[in-house]
Amino acid sequence: MFCDLIRGAAEVSICYEDATAIAFLDIQPVNPGHVLVVPREHYEVLQDIPKAVGAHLYQVATKLIPLVQTASNATDMNIVVNSGAAAGQNVMHYHIHLIPRKEGDGFDVPLPFPGSVMPNRQQLDAMAARIGSMLRDPLQNDGMKLG
């Protein structure tokens, strides 16, 4: 669907565009001013995005946030990425939601999640160690260097 919008095959209300990214108003907004920041090239999920494209999309989002807040008279903002079907992504073209927020608007992203069980420190430490060891394993991280 987003590929069609990017190619101009459907109506879209664009608020920003460049060679890499396009930003337009969501047709089913949480609140007025709900913007989607989308790469022009098709990538399904966050893990597919090249680092330079991901950084550029984030720069576009941070440039738009104060403008969207002013235009929509919002005091706050949710920046949401649903990456994959299990995470709630229903359009399989990576995108960033910029959702302007006002007190009492009725939208909620409850964190901590009310249904979660608080793990003990040993469980937290074990998961942290597992992730950390994967970062240090060249076969797991494709040579990614952090820090």
Nearest to 25 by CA among 15, 17, 38, 10: 15
Torsional sign, CA 116, 93, 58, 104: negative
Whether omega for the bond prior to residue 39 falls within 30 degrees of 0, making it cis, is: no
Quick one: which H or E segment has residue 123?
helix 121-136
Quick one: which H or E segment has residue 51?
helix 51-72
Backbone angles phi, psi at 68, to 5 degrees: -65, -40
Catalytic residue among 34, 56, 93, 95: 95
Question: Is 34 annotated as catalytic?
Answer: no
The residues carrying an active-site annotation are 95
